[in-house]
A and B are shown apart, each in its own frame.
Chain A
Amino acid sequence: MKTAYRQIRSMGTTMDLVLPGTGDAPADLLVKEITSELDRIEQRLSVYRPDSDISVINRTAFRHPVRLDPEMHLIFKELVAYHRETRGFFDVTLKAVLDHYLEHGTEAGILPERIAGSAGMGHLVLEGDRIRFLKDGMQIDLGGYGKGYAMRHILKIITGRGVEKALVSFGGSLVCGLGTHPYGDCWKVSVPLPGSTGPLLFDLKNETLSTSGNSLNNQKKFGNSGHIVNPETLHTRRGKGMVSVTASDPVRAEVFSTALFSAGNQRAMEIAGQFPDLKVGCFFM
């Protein structure tokens, strides 16, 4: 079977598109549309673009409320809803804390009050279509949400073009199995675990698998301190570990994989148990 394979570089990582039964010309059209949409989303949500909507909010929302357009308003409502649903372990207000750890290390002693005080979804207020920060220094980062949001939109583009089977991998940490493998009844995906432990196995059929944790690449950048901050303790989760979650909505998968990793093994299973729509695999050392 003719299978189109395309690669798109976006959001600091590589997206692999495997499209069984799709020809080169339609695949190229898809790439064009997806690239444009990814760029649009990055321009809205990326903290690495100084003129993105999020960056403007970060600079302004403490000084005065910022009006949100319908899309951004829906995004923030979803962020607040997921914060509640994950018992507070999904929290997009921890950027200042992580930036402090990146600069000073996690062994530098107690977090300065100004930094610690700036974090917490309780200090982010939605009043109608306006957003306001109650704490000076609060910074939002949509890592743990942004790729899922992008994947949601990409899947709309792909299905809108009549594609029924696809595997879309966003850097491996977000993998969507649309339809089924051309010779099977699902997409079988595995996630390797450290050491000699066998991999986690997932069957995806119109589902997305998200994996969050401390990978080798993140360890190079962040050291053993990790890069996912626990909102309760404001410490990072250290050491090797990962959580994989599948859900029919890529945003949901990514949000929960991030939140459950942050929560740690025991709390993760407690929270996950409340949501039968999720399949969860955890590995903590």
Chain B
Amino acid sequence: METDRRDFIKAFSALAAAGIFSARMPWLSSLYAQEDLRTVKLGIIGVGSRGSLLLTHLQEVPGVEISCFCDDYEPNFERAQQMIGMEARGYRDYRRMLDQEQIDGVVIATPLDRHARMSIDALDAGLHVFCEKAMAKTYEECDLMLQAHRRNNRILYIGHQRLFSARTLKGVKEIEKGSIGDVTQIRAYWHRNNDWRRPVPSPGLERKINWRLYREFSCGLMTELASHHLQVANWILKENPDYAWGSGSINHWKDGREVYDNVNVVYHYPSGTHLVYDSLISNKKYGMQIEVQGPLGTIELETGYLFKEFPEPAPGIIQLLNSIEKRVFDVVPVGGPTWVPEDPSEDKGTYLLDRIIKSDGTDIQMASFVSDVRNNRVDPWLTEQGYSSGIATLMGYESMWSNRIVSWPGGLSL
């Protein structure tokens, strides 16, 4: 992981030196700037499977002290204590932690229904906040979080790590450069083949551990998976969807869950572009992808490949063009029985980076959060990315459950 991050930073430094990044990504400067490593003290709320992964990343960032943690599920509590060490103070009520600890910020990785309350309380306590995605469970909660971030002028990251993924960043840059022309459609999907359940030691813990399956705590595949791709789509299109319509059902995992096991939503944007989204957990052949399409090509952001609609000229033609420019009369090696692939599906695409980077951006995101906290660097744009994704996600969710087209809600802060 450390090697990945070092590779990533090296690659990024080179790209940054070449002016690859747009000015809208100032937070990345924290990754390669020389910093005075004042210790940043953080608390972590929610140390389940995602929380413990974030904790692992944080523990690799120089200059971080995990002073305290909070989890109301005993196995998670014990694991956190083991991971961090006995010097960290453990809590079972996050409010006590906020009251008693002298920390700079918190990382929140709890079920969706708790995001808003915990984030707002932490922001109002003067802390910087990293909150896992999706932002919140209702439109109102998203808005209240945004307002708390603004009135307290505190950092609020929402856990959309693709903002820090080398593949996505390079892909977005290529799109901004015009490599595929105007974006005319985005297709995104996330397919898995499992029941999405975690083992439950006793029936009484079913709703606590498998909270993602119940509407009291979760909005299902939309908030847990689609929110990532919605963030990327909004980022690329530089606008929010104006309406959505969708349909979902439970057609395979009929085990008492309340959230759909397949979701299908179309988002319309003011520019006329559509995002076509689907997710299901009963087939994994097609995996996960964001296909950004334009008249000149397609970029697959999850894998980092660019496919041009029109292939590069044959080498012989390139040679001819060069020779004419140099005033050289040369042989053109251009003949042959069918030079270019006639079947577009044979085009394997061009990998956008110059090396394989496995990181999905989570490690960089945590390093960036720490750096921003250390430097008290509040970036409203970053928060608004989480907000826009949160609202759009909930539009799709509402559309499916109400069986109607849903517009971007009125009366919101954005």
Contacts and interface: CB of A to CB of B under 8 A. Distances in A.
A12 B339 CA distance: 12
A18 B336 contact: no
Judged by DSSP, the binding face of A is strand
A214 interface: yes
Contacts of A182: 324
Nearest to B324: A3
B309 interface: yes
B342 A13 contact: yes
B270 interface: no
A91 B333 CA distance: 30
A189 B328 CA distance: 14
Interface residues of B, number: 29
A188 B320 CA distance: 10
A201 B335 CA distance: 10
Interface string A47-68: 0000000000000000000000
Contacts of A213: 337
A5 B328 CA distance: 17
A1 interface: yes
Given A9-B309, A12-B342, A183-B328, A211 B314 contact: no
B345 to A, nearest CB: 11
Contact of A242 (B324, B330, B337, B342): B337
Nearest to B342: A12
Judged by DSSP, the binding face of B is loop
A172 B316 contact: yes
B167 to A, nearest CB: 28
B333 A190 contact: yes
Interface in B303-320: 309-311, 313-314, 316-317, 320
B286 interface: no
Contacts of A242: 336-337
Given A1-B324, A183-B324, A211-B336, A201 B331 contact: yes
B36 interface: no
Interface in A184-218: 184, 187-192, 199-202, 209, 211-215, 217-218
A235 interface: no
A14 B324 contact: no
Contacts of A202: 335
Contacts of B311: 14
Contact of A189 (B324, B329, B331): B331
A151 interface: no
A169 B339 CA distance: 10
A167 interface: yes
B328 A188 contact: no
B294 to A, nearest CB: 15
B337 A169 contact: no
Given A16-B317, A183-B328, 13 more contacts: A9-B310, A12-B342, A172-B337, A172-B339, A173-B339, A175-B334, A182-B324, A183-B327, A189-B333, A202-B335, A211-B336, A214-B337, A221-B343
Interface of A: 1, 3, 5, 7, 9, 12-14, 16, 18, 20, 167, 169, 171-173, 175, 181-184, 187-192, 199-202, 209, 211-215, 217-218, 220-221, 242, 244
